[in-house]
Structure 1
Amino acid sequence: MTTEALENVEGRDIGSGISIIRERTGIDGSGPRLHQHPYRETFVIVSGRARFTIGAAEREGGTGDVLVVPADTPHKFAVIGPETYEAVHIHESDHFITEWLE
């Protein structure tokens, strides 16, 4: 199974104040390295599971869960296979702003 970004949409391109990433992957352990945004990010998990690090906390998110990362909070996640992880990542900005920490 490969990692595939299904759709990345910056809100400014469509007249919206939010930007989204639709992601799907079945690769165990895959996910972004530690980063943060100057706005909240909300993860809506459609299927699968992932281990999230949000600030100093760790938690598992699975099908149907909604996780919110506060602004300026370091975060990352890693897919827990073998199920396919599919989610919508909602960025509260009309464009993506990411500070990579790792």
Structure 2
Amino acid sequence: MEHVITRSDGRDDGEDWTENYERLPGGAGISIILESTTKEGVGPRLHQHPYAETFIIRRGTATFTIGSGDAAHEVVGRAGQVLVVPAGTPHRFRTGQGGYEAVHVHANAEFITEWLE
């Protein structure tokens, strides 16, 4: 049987939708973050997960820092791209001018985050 999840704010569109979902029904085995902002320069501090995180970028840009220390490098993710950060890899991002909208797919039913800064 299928499962339908409706926005908690009651809107019936896909605009400005920011929400976290864990333990999705139907045995999905993933958790997701829906991120939508018009602000520049916002995002999480350096962290990592024991599973891969996939960023499906729908609008705008974000500058991702992948790795830490001497191994760190930056990647600019843009609308229409998918970025996959492997399990155990430190990462963070800052939204670009005009904001950012994306679906962050965590390859685990619950969020497990180790904050590194």
TM-score if structure 2 supplies the norm length?
Answer: 0.78
Separation in 2, partners of 1:101, 1:46: 27
The alignment-based identity, stated in percent, is: 61
**1:19-98 → structure 2 map (5 Å cutoff):** 19-55=31-67, 56-81=72-97, 83-98=98-113
Gaps of 5+ in 1: none
Aligned residues: 97
Gaps of 5+ in 2: 1-15
| RMSD, aligned CA | 1.3
Separation in 2, partners of 1:53, 1:69: 10
**Which protein is richer in strand relative to its size?**
1
Separation in 2, partners of 1:99, 1:34: 9
Larger radius of gyration: 2
